[in-house]
Amino acid sequence: MPKAIEHPFVSAGDFSTSRKSGQKMRDVPLAGHAENLSPLQNIGVWGTSLGFHFLILLFCSLIYITIDNRQDFVSVSTFVSPLEQEVVLTESPQELDDWNVNVDAPVSLTPTKTVVEPTSTPEAAKDPMTEMEVDDASDPLSVALDSMDLDANVEGIEGDFANTEGDAGSVDRITLEILNRLEKGKVLVVWLMDASESLTARREQVIKRFERIYKELDELDDNKAEPLLTSVVSFGEKSKLMTPQPTADFEEVMQAVKKMPTDETGIENVFAAVQTAAREYRKLQKKGYQVMLVVLTDESGNDVALLDKTIQEVKRNKMSVYVMGPVSPFGRSEMRVKWVDNETEEVLRLPVERGPESVAIETVNVPVWIPELREQVISSGFGPYALARLTRESNGIYFMHDDGNIDGPKIDILDMLDHTPDYLSPVEYNKLVDKSPIRKTILLIAKSSWQASHMQPKLKFPEGGIQFDIRDELRNVQKIDEFLNRAIYDLRAVESYRSKETSERWQAHYDLLMGQLLANRIRLTNSIPLLNEMYAHPKVCQEGTTNAWELAGVEGTALIDLSQSLSQNEQQKQDQTSAKKRNGKKRKHARAATADSSIDEEAELALKYLQRVVTAHPGTPWAAIAQKELNYPLQLKWQEAFVIPPKGEKLPWDKVPLSAMTEKQKEAKKKFERFLREKKKKEELKEKREKANPGKKKKIPKL
């Protein structure tokens, strides 16, 4: 008897019942015995049989209908590779306007083979992936306002970044958004303005520019114009409503901005302000108003912990957030901005929070011997993570304001489209990190580098007491060497996952970091003999205008020079191979020439990584840093330098009589005396102010 085939939708209990039913059916007379029965009995038997089979058919048809309804339009069978294989991280492209992530969705950690079997359906099924495709011909992340007509209708850029010509361009773009919304109904614009002193001038300039929209409304017909209301909120440590009620009177709005009190705490709780405003004006949203929250700030905010709750609040109330905020520095949370004292004209660089551009600081505080890289701040090409994510989640726009404090290379948003940070919650971000050995390793190295002290090597050493300074530096060099060795070891341990990393941002992180670590380990190795030599036999400055020694690069020893040497060596090898074939007697000489022109393998490897960054990621911060590493020498030397000596210590030109001074010494003396006069002038102004206001200290604002 053939074995019964179990149906997936029938339990074991159902099979036992079927077998029992089959046993009972043996007692029922079969059709072959009908001739032994009377006609009435025949009819009864056939009727019973017909009814019984009809019930079976009906039951089977019901099962078929149930199964059919449970099927999807596409039947997918997946064959998963063994778990012993290496983990592969696969990222799906993020949708531009919807940044919600389904945390319950299954994640494939191993390579899979998928068989797709389309089934015929009365309605054509839409492939969800097709709807997520982005037209390459469009520019979804930037807005050019040079030739934009304010009457034009621009669609599809909500939730993205915009590069504009300063605040004027940002306000014009927001004006366009307001006019477009007014065609659909009533609008409430809530201006949330940073009340710190650094924003005083910008606040008035921005709101004055906003007057343009009221002129636009005056030109509309009365029967077309829908009500536009405006409200002003100031924020610092606390939020304050500057307009008691939303108003349509622009003069009232202007006065509210002018009367805004300055917040002197230096604390900017921007997310608390947005959350409070969303709750305050939700009653108007329920009355049909389209609520736009426009934030004006020059920092990233001190209450980032409220970000997720703020996102929930604005989404619940169907409000869009627009931010006129700063460009974030690449890979750091803090930077310094220029501040000028109006009385003394003293220029200070004050710290402000403007980053990072991602959930975590993803860059490493690499020990570098390149002065420019140690001092220069590079633009990330994006706004701070928290504010940028808020605009994306609420279908707003982030307008990046460049105030000139980032003096590094300008980064175009168009070059950064494939390097966008992950605008996810920290929990979702960490899930991606945990699945990627590359990301996890880089973040661990980054964290340890920023927590470590004395990570950067010292380059200048005053002549007086140079042995003591070098002794301390040799101890620091030992720590740097341990860090570089450990970081390179950890990165090499996960290098097999580099080809499986799908994010161009993280590919750039890995290649740049590996190239920098290798190049600077070479520079460290080359600096140690110089430090030991100077410690054992201190040199004396000879130029007459110098009083210190500095480690500087030897021209012609950069990786870019190595690249040219490698090309020449390769050509020489080819020529030598040809020569060997022509004349076997020259083989020994050819081998010697090849050995003499061999290049350090570590330098070649550093060259490979850094060149790949420049080639694969042009126009990005990674490429800018890699190019500087390629151009700076690997070999170092001692050269004489000048540092401002401690008070009372003789200057180099004071050690010789005036009549014996060289022209170079005289010029250096004039320059330094001019510096001292400017310094004394500022000190006198400071002293004069303190006398005029006894007991009152100089006030340095908290930006």
Domain boundaries along the sequence of the chain: 160-328+379-403, 442-562+600-641, 652-692
Residue 3 has pLDDT above 90, yes or no: no
Residue 114 has pLDDT above 60, yes or no: no
Residue 399 has pLDDT above 80, yes or no: yes
- Least confident stretch, 4-18, 99-113, 419-433, 526-540: 99-113
Q: Name which of 501, 373, 527 is nearest 433 in CA terms.
A: 501
Find all residues with CB under 8 Å of 255, minimum gap 6, and list them.
none
Position 303: which residue type?
D
**Angle CA 346–348–354, to nearest 5:** 150
> Where are the alpha helices (H) located in 403-503, listed in sequence order?
426-434, 437-451, 466-493
Q: Which residues pair with 115 in a beta bridge?
A: 77
Torsion, Cα of 253, 258, 259, 260 (10° steps)? 90
Q: Name which of 261, 283, 279, 257 is nearest 192 in CA terms.
A: 257
**According to the model, what pLDDT value does residue 462 have?**
95
Q: Are 299 and 326 spatial neighbours (Cβ–Cβ below 8 Å)?
A: yes
Structure tokens at 35: 């001739």
- How many CB atoms lie under 10 A from the CB of residue 16? 10
**According to the model, what pLDDT value does residue 69 have?**
34
- Least confident stretch, 127-141, 234-248, 359-373, 405-419: 127-141
Q: Cα(616)–Cα(623) distance, rounded to whole angstroms?
A: 8
Strands (E), 570-689: 636-641
**According to the model, what pLDDT value does residue 220 have?**
61
Report the greatest alpha carbon distance in the chain.
150
- How many CB atoms lie under 10 A from the CB of residue 405? 17
End-to-end CA distance of the chain: 89
Structure tokens at 255: 């006065």
- How many CB atoms lie under 10 A from the CB of residue 465? 10
What phi, psi does 112 have (nearest 5°)? -130, 155
Q: Are 278 and 319 spatial neighbours (Cβ–Cβ below 8 Å)?
A: yes
Q: Cα(354)–Cα(300) distance, rounded to whole angstroms?
A: 5
Residue-wise pLDDT tens digits, 41-67:
555 655 666 666 666 665 555 443 333
**According to the model, what pLDDT value does residue 146 have?**
31
Q: Evaluate whether the domain defined by 160-328+379-403 bears CATH number 3.40.50.410.
A: yes
Q: How confident is the model at residue 106 (pLDDT cuts 50, 70, 90)?
A: very low
Q: How confident is the model at residue 124 (pLDDT cuts 50, 70, 90)?
A: very low
Residue-wise pLDDT tens digits, 125-140:
333 222 223 233 322 2
Find all residues with CB under 8 Å of 563, minimum gap 6, and list them.
607, 611, 630
Residue 326 has pLDDT above 70, yes or no: yes
- Least confident stretch, 67-71, 157-161, 261-265: 67-71
Calculate mean pLDDT across residues 564-578.
61
H or E stretch covering 334: strand 334-340
Residue-wise pLDDT tens digits, 495-540:
999 999 999 999 999 999 999 999 999 999 999 999 999 999 999 9
**According to the model, what pLDDT value does residue 74 have?**
28
Share of the chain above pLDDT 70, in %: 69
What phi, psi does 190 have (nearest 5°)? -110, 115
What phi, psi does 620 have (nearest 5°)? -105, 165
What phi, psi does 335 have (nearest 5°)? -145, 170
**According to the model, what pLDDT value does residue 404 have?**
85
Q: What average pLDDT does the structure give for the chain?
A: 76
Q: Cα(178)–Cα(188) distance, rounded to whole angstroms?
A: 9
Q: Are 326 and 400 spatial neighbours (Cβ–Cβ below 8 Å)?
A: yes
Q: How many CA atoms lie within 13 A of 48 on its CB side?
A: 12
Calculate mean pLDDT across residues 487-502.
96
H or E stretch covering 375: helix 371-375
Q: How confident is the model at residue 7 (pLDDT cuts 50, 70, 90)?
A: very low
Residue-wise pLDDT tens digits, 176-192:
888 889 889 999 999 99
**Angle CA 382–387–389, to nearest 5:** 80
Q: Name which of 232, 166, 97, 150 is nearest 399 in CA terms.
A: 166
Q: Are 680 and 328 spatial neighbours (Cβ–Cβ below 8 Å)?
A: no
3 state SS for 439-466: HHHHHHHHHHHHHCCCCCCCCEEECCCH
pTM of the model: 0.72
- Least confident stretch, 427-431, 551-555, 699-703: 699-703
Q: Which residues pair with 551 in a beta bridge?
A: 638
Residue 10 has pLDDT above 50, yes or no: no
**According to the model, what pLDDT value does residue 697 have?**
56
